[in-house]
Structure 1
Amino acid sequence: MATSNRIAEVAAAVGEPARAAMLAALMDGRALTATELAEVAAITPQTASGHLARLATAGLIVAEKQGRHRYHRLASAEVARMIESVMLVAGGIALSRPPRRVGPKDAALRHARTCYDHLAGHLGVSIADALRASGAVEIAGDAAALTETGRARMQALGILAPDRDMRSTRPVCRPCLDWSERRPHLAGVLGAAICTHALDHGWIRRRAGTRALEITPAGRIGFRQAFEIEHTV
């Protein structure tokens, strides 16, 4: 049960212009670095670190490390709903500058690439979003699970092999924060199997000297039929 002290703590954490701007910037579901959030709030990175610590202590944001970088995102859907309600009451929060473009400058890398052995970029996140929307995959924070319906669907498509894939010691499914989209794509056995299936069936092909992938005409059809996504090109 929320106490008056807890309510005051959350309200105080939100009720500061720089922190409010940071929270508003995170409302699109992406995870951003302290430097990016500092730019949004028009403050120095050092000042931003203190504000981010305050927001984390209040339970409004969480941080996760990906490679050399540390990314910050809203802690839960409940936090997002609270911020949205505040924005509605306030008449909308306008940021002092537009959101910064994040991730690799190379458009091909942003669109589709490999992340170790699974798909990343706009393509990878679109697949994760589609599987989540259809109930095939459940994602909550740093955890993900392939549902029974999703398992049957992936096996029917020939993406997962019951005997081979289910004996793996790797997690069947886990979210991996996408470098450019700043939302999760899928790793683990499922993520690797989708990537392998797409390569084997000619849906994607590797670009020489880069992790970028090219989606083929067959891939436009294959991804649409398998995952019901239309925006892969």
Structure 2
Amino acid sequence: MRNGPDIARTAALIGDPARAAMLAALMDGRALTARELSETAGIMPQTASSHLAKLEAGGLLARARQGRHAYLRLAGPEVAALLEGLMTFAAPRTSRVRPGPRDADLREARVCYNHLAGRRGVQMYDALMRSGALAEGPVATAAMGRALAPLEVDPTGLPGRAPLCRDCLDWSERRSHLSGRLGRAILAAMEARHWVRRDPASRAIRFTPPGARAFDATFPPG
């Protein structure tokens, strides 16, 4: 087939175990050096450089230079959504009964590139749908501003050209959580108000006791 997207090329890039490990390490939105990524994948730095060059050429990674150091990050939220979707698809084909990560903290709440995922992310999405702040699409309605008033997030004034709202199929919950500019802004606001803090050693997001209470009040569980 000569027309259409080159799915095979992208699949081959992600399909190598070392490259998949390095991509997964960047799912929390951080930028890492080639050496850090080589350690994550358990391969030699020279081998990692070759893999990273292929991922960059394939549009999956972006490189930024700061001083003498070069850092690599996922090329954008669409790459994170692709990886989360692949994790969701691949999970039932493992020997584990439950999909998603084994770590309970990661299942509870984690960062997916730049937005909230896990049980808490799905809770937020469902609460916004029940309140009418979010409609199928997903689309933010006129009620979204009121729903996000405790976080002081104005959905009409968010910068950027990416979609305001996006569905992202959750790896562990198998239901949608919210991505897009609005999902990013909500997570940033929760961090600024100390509702949550990131685990520096993983993708886990931990709620502070006051933050958990405020989150449940803003996004009540069903």
TM-score normalised by L of structure 1: 0.53
Which of 201, 204, 215 matches 1:209? Answer: 201
Which of 103, 107, 128 matches 1:106? Answer: 103
Contact preservation (8 Å) 1:125, 1:185: yes
CA distance in 2, matches of 1:224, 1:71: 26
Match of 1:128 in 2: 125
CA distance in 2, matches of 1:156, 1:204: 15
Which of 206, 209, 218 matches 2:210? Answer: 218
- Give a deviation string over 1:32-86, Cα, whole Å, max 9, x none: xxxxxxxxxxxxxxxxxxxxxxxxxxxxxxxxx84272867xxxxxxxxxxxxxx
Structure 1 residues 156 and 209: alpha-carbon distance in aligned structure 2, compared to 1, 3 A threshold: closer
User: Are 1:192 and 2:184 an aligned pair?
Assistant: yes
Task: Give matches, 1:106-185, under 5 Å.
Answer: 106-139=103-136, 143-154=137-148, 157-160=151-154, 162-163=156-157, 165=158, 167-185=159-177
Identity rate, percent: 39
Q: How many aligned residue pairs are there? A: 135
Contact preservation (8 Å) 1:128, 1:186: yes
TM-score normalised by L of structure 2: 0.55
State the Cα distance separating 1:227 from its structure 2 match: 1.6
> 2:181 is aligned with what amino acid?
V
Contact preservation (8 Å) 2:153, 2:185: yes
CA distance in 2, matches of 1:215, 1:144: 26
CA distance in 2, matches of 1:210, 1:70: 16
State the Cα distance separating 1:152 from its structure 2 match: 4.2
State the Cα distance separating 1:112 from its structure 2 match: 0.4
CA distance in 2, matches of 1:105, 1:182: 15
Contact preservation (8 Å) 1:66, 1:177: no
- Which sections of structure 2, spanning at least 5 residues, go unmatched? 1-80, 90-95
Structure 1 residues 201 and 214: alpha-carbon distance in aligned structure 2, compared to 1, 3 A threshold: same
- Give a deviation string over 1:193-226, Cα, whole Å, max 9, x none: 1100111111111112101011111112210222
Contact preservation (8 Å) 1:204, 1:215: yes
- Which sections of structure 1, spanning at least 5 residues, go unmatched? 1-64, 73-98
What SS does the corresponding residue of 1:223 show, helix, strand or coil?
Answer: helix
> 1:122 is aligned with what amino acid?
R
State the Cα distance separating 1:157 from its structure 2 match: 4.0
State the Cα distance separating 1:155 from its structure 2 match: 5.0
Contact preservation (8 Å) 1:112, 1:119: yes
Contact preservation (8 Å) 1:155, 1:162: no
> 1:134 is aligned with what amino acid?
S
Structure 1 residues 132 and 106: alpha-carbon distance in aligned structure 2, compared to 1, 3 A threshold: same
> 1:148 is aligned with what amino acid?
A
RMSD (Å), alpha carbons: 2.4
Structure 1 residues 223 and 124: alpha-carbon distance in aligned structure 2, compared to 1, 3 A threshold: same
CA distance in 2, matches of 1:161, 1:150: 7
Between structure 1 and structure 2, the one with the greater Rg is: 1
